[in-house]
Amino acid sequence: MGYFSDSLAAAFQLIISFDKDIYQIAITSVSISFFAALIAASLAIPAGIYMALNQFSGKQIIQHLLNTLMAMPTVVIGLLLYGLFSRLGPLGHLDLLYTPTAIIIAEAILIFPIMMNLAIVAVTSADQRLVPTLISLGAKPIALSIQVAKHSRFAILAAIITGFGRAIGEVGAAMMLGGNIEGFTRTMTTAIALQTSKGEFETGLALGLLLLVIAFIVNFMLSWLQRPHS
Amino acid sequence: MSSSYQLKNIKVHHGQQCVLDIPELSLPEEKCIALLGDNGAGKSTLLDLLAFTSRPDQGEITLKRQAALYPLHPKQRQMIGYVPQHPFLLAGSVADNIQLALRLQGIERKQHQNQIKQALELVNLDHLAQQAAHTLSGGELKRAAIARAVAYQPDILLLDEPFSHLDQIHSQQFEDIIQHLASQSGKTVIFSTHDRLQGLALADSTINLVAGKTTKSPLLNLFHGTMHDQVFDTGHLQIHTISQLATARHIAIDPSEIIISTQELQSSMQNHYMGRLILIAEEIGTIRLTIDCGERFHAIISPKSLSDLNLTIGDTVWLNFKSTAVSIF
């Protein structure tokens, strides 16, 4: 018990003293997840809205594929991208392996199906009269998508935040593609794994607490967005 | 007479069930047309097709002599204003909703304020222009939706059950609005209602729908039942017809074809029923009698006939009509 409480006290000390290394890792982690969420959202949200508003052949297959990808283990994504980005791989010449960009790509791929699925749900769960009303008022396809997105903005924002939350907690792909390089690709999750294996439990705990705070903020924002809106 | 819409071989299915089956239908231009029919007759489905917010499983619709393709061409879209039975207003004020319609229709920004004002004045809602849409009452919401639909000055206005769930005062207001819109030059108003008398009173012509099919009968005496040997059995009455159609499930009798007498008539008419007079109502220069003979019949007579027959509510009367007066479908 003494070991745990001493470590917890040391972890709090690291946080309140604004330990440079701890906050450097947190900033790296947040910025990587932010850009991953931004890239994924810019593709997944329009794709989700398009899929929800249109009927086309193969729609069912795409839906099944999205559901499957949502459950895909992160290490599998890490493994596939490692094969692509490694020096002998087809994209090896881009020198992306062990860079934040590689982690951003992996996390964006990881959260894309989550965001797209949630965007589909956001549109399909909107009032059934919304789309026919907009069509009858003269909305062309792009204007229709914009108006539907505007109407479902809280649910769509919730989709983006959920994706961000999933990205920041990811460890497998970040470890494989980032290499856990201090001050460069070291994220909170990879640092926790490393520090714990090195026996520096208090550093791991301090990062874990920070991760919890971020998770709490993300969930608070989600709850706020999902409250009933008039 | 030129037509606003022409429909050909239209079929709409919900699952296995065919909910609309119209081989051919022409809706005249610059007229007020009522779609009459009971709940589930296919009125809303037909209006959705006319508004091009849904497409038929089969068939073609021509809009003002031009083929209509999906999605509708913006110029054709601008011809149609549609107010569904349960209109949906987007977040924002009443004026915001109208402005959105103007924006989507590509109306120049400098005309917006003027057109919003005109549309709101038409439905007596100018005092609520800045009110949030979600705070409107049922009647106000319908009026706001009409304002939104007429703001871009469409040639055709489609209204689905505009009088449903309205009290008498609001219903009267809506009748006035419809009459005003229909009286404007170049405008076609098509509205649906299950109140046949209201439809007949307001419209220049009517389209009657029964179980997804159009019929020429005004549906004032509409009965459901089965046919055996040219006799239609409603469950309460046997009505003689001239039809051989054994699969017929609906009949209607034109109320102006019914002859009312105070004694049994000796005539060539095959249908004679004794009943009790339960309602006398004056309607646009005619008298409508409602008679209970086991089934309720409506008959239209002149004020002079009413006076000659000296009828009062509760009287026993005879109701007579020819078997040829019965429409079968």
Where exactly are the structural domains of chain A? 2-225
B213: exposed, middle or buried (Cβ count in 10 Å: 0-12, 13-18, 19+): middle
Query: Measured between alpha carbons, how far is residue A80 from residues A68, A110, A217 in Å?
Result: 16, 12, 32
Pure H helices in chain B: 43-50, 74-77, 94-104, 112-122, 138-150, 168-183, 196-202, 303-309
The answer, yes or no, to whether residue B109 has pLDDT greater than 80, is yes
Interface of A with B (CB under 8 A): 127, 129-130, 132-141, 143, 147, 151, 230
d(CA A9, CA A27): 22
**A137 vs B48, B86, B100: nearest CB:** B100
Q: Give kind and range of the element (H or E) at residue A52.
A: helix A20-53
Strand order in the sheet with B188-193: B80-83, B156-159, B188-193, B32-36, B205-210, B213-215
Among chain B residues, the shortest Cα distance to A54 is held by: B71
Inter-chain contact A147–B100, Cβ cutoff 8 Å? Answer: yes
Question: Which among B251, B247, B248 has a CA at the least distance from the CA of B237?
Answer: B251
**Strand bridging mode B250-253 / B222-224:** antiparallel
The CA-CA-CA angle for residues B202, B35, B71, to 5°, reads 120
- What are A104's two structure tokens? 């951003």
Interface test with B, best of A55, A131, A137, A150 (most B CBs within 10 A): A137
Inter-chain contact A136–B51, Cβ cutoff 8 Å? Answer: yes
- Residues B258-267 have a mean pLDDT of 92
What is the residue whose two structure tokens read 């917006």? B112
- What are B261's two structure tokens? 């007498």
Return the CATH class of domain A2-225.
mainly alpha
d(CA B268, CA A111): 82
ipTM reported for the complex, 2 dp = 0.79
B88 touches chain A (CB under 8 A): yes
- Residues B320-326 have a mean pLDDT of 93
How many contiguous H segments (helices) and E segments (strands) does chain B have? Answer: 8, 21
The answer, yes or no, to whether residue B218 has pLDDT greater than 70, is no
What is the residue whose two structure tokens read 């019949």? B297
**DSSP-derived secondary structure letter, B329:** -
B157 touches chain A (CB under 8 A): no
- What are A134's two structure tokens? 């907009």
d(CA A147, CA B267): 67
CA A190: distance to chain centroid?
16
- Give residue B236's identity as a one-letter amino acid code: H
The pLDDT tens digits for A10-40 are 888 888 888 899 999 999 999 999 999 999 9
Q: Partners of B63 in the beta sheet?
A: B5, B66
- Residues B206-235 have a mean pLDDT of 86
**B105 vs A138, A147, A230: nearest CB:** A138
* Through-space distance between the first and last CA atoms of chain A, rounded to whole angstroms: 50
Question: Which among B270, B279, B285, B275 has a CA at the least distance from the CA of B320?
Answer: B270
Residue B183's pLDDT is 87
Q: What is the mean pLDDT of chain B?
A: 91
A133 CA: distance to closest CA in chain B (Å)? 7
d(CA A86, CA A98): 9
Q: Partners of B214 in the beta sheet?
A: B209
B78 CA: distance to closest CA in chain A (Å)? 7
Q: If you count them, how many residues does chain A have?
A: 230
B118 CA: distance to closest CA in chain A (Å)? 18
CA A202: distance to chain centroid?
26
Q: Give kind and range of the element (H or E) at residue A163.
A: helix A153-168
**Strand bridging mode B222-224 / B213-215:** unpaired
d(CA B9, CA B326): 26
- Residues B97-116 have a mean pLDDT of 96
d(CA A47, CA A69): 15
d(CA B10, CA B57): 8
Inter-chain contact B106–A138, Cβ cutoff 8 Å? Answer: yes
B310: exposed, middle or buried (Cβ count in 10 Å: 0-12, 13-18, 19+): exposed
d(CA A107, CA A168): 9
The answer, yes or no, to whether residue B1 has pLDDT greater than 70, is no
Per the model's pLDDT, the better-predicted residue between A74 and B185 turns out to be A74
DSSP A181-205: -TTTT--HHHHHHHHHHHT-HHHHH
d(CA B159, CA B179): 13
Inter-chain contact A138–B48, Cβ cutoff 8 Å? Answer: no
B153 touches chain A (CB under 8 A): no
Residue B284's pLDDT is 63
Q: What percent of chain B has pLDDT over 70?
A: 98
What is the residue whose two structure tokens read 């209204």? B159
Residue A230's pLDDT is 45
What is the residue whose two structure tokens read 């499983």? B57
The pLDDT tens digits for A32-77 are 999 999 999 999 999 999 999 999 999 999 999 999 999 888 999 9
Strand order in the sheet with B222-224: B222-224, B250-253, B326-328
Question: Which among B173, B195, B144 has a CA at the least distance from the CA of B34?
Answer: B195
* Through-space distance between the first and last CA atoms of chain B, rounded to whole angstroms: 27
Q: How many CA atoms lie within 13 A of B204 on its CB side?
A: 15
Contact B283, B197 (CB under 8 A): yes
Pure H helices in B151-210: 168-183, 196-202
- What are B140's two structure tokens? 């106000």
- What are A101's two structure tokens? 């960009």
The answer, yes or no, to whether residue B217 has pLDDT greater than 70, is no
Inter-chain contact A143–B104, Cβ cutoff 8 Å? Answer: yes
The pLDDT tens digits for A135-164 are 999 999 999 999 999 999 999 999 999 999
Pure H helices in A58-171: 59-70, 74-85, 100-124, 130-136, 141-151, 153-168
The pLDDT tens digits for B128-155 are 999 999 999 988 999 999 999 999 999 9
Q: Residues of A with CB below 8 A from B74's CB?
A: 138, 140
Among chain B residues, the shortest Cα distance to A127 is held by: B88
Q: Residues of A with CB below 8 A from B82's CB?
A: 136
Residue A228's pLDDT is 66
- Residues A208-230 have a mean pLDDT of 83
The pLDDT tens digits for A70-126 are 988 899 999 999 999 999 999 999 999 999 999 999 999 999 999 999 999 999 999
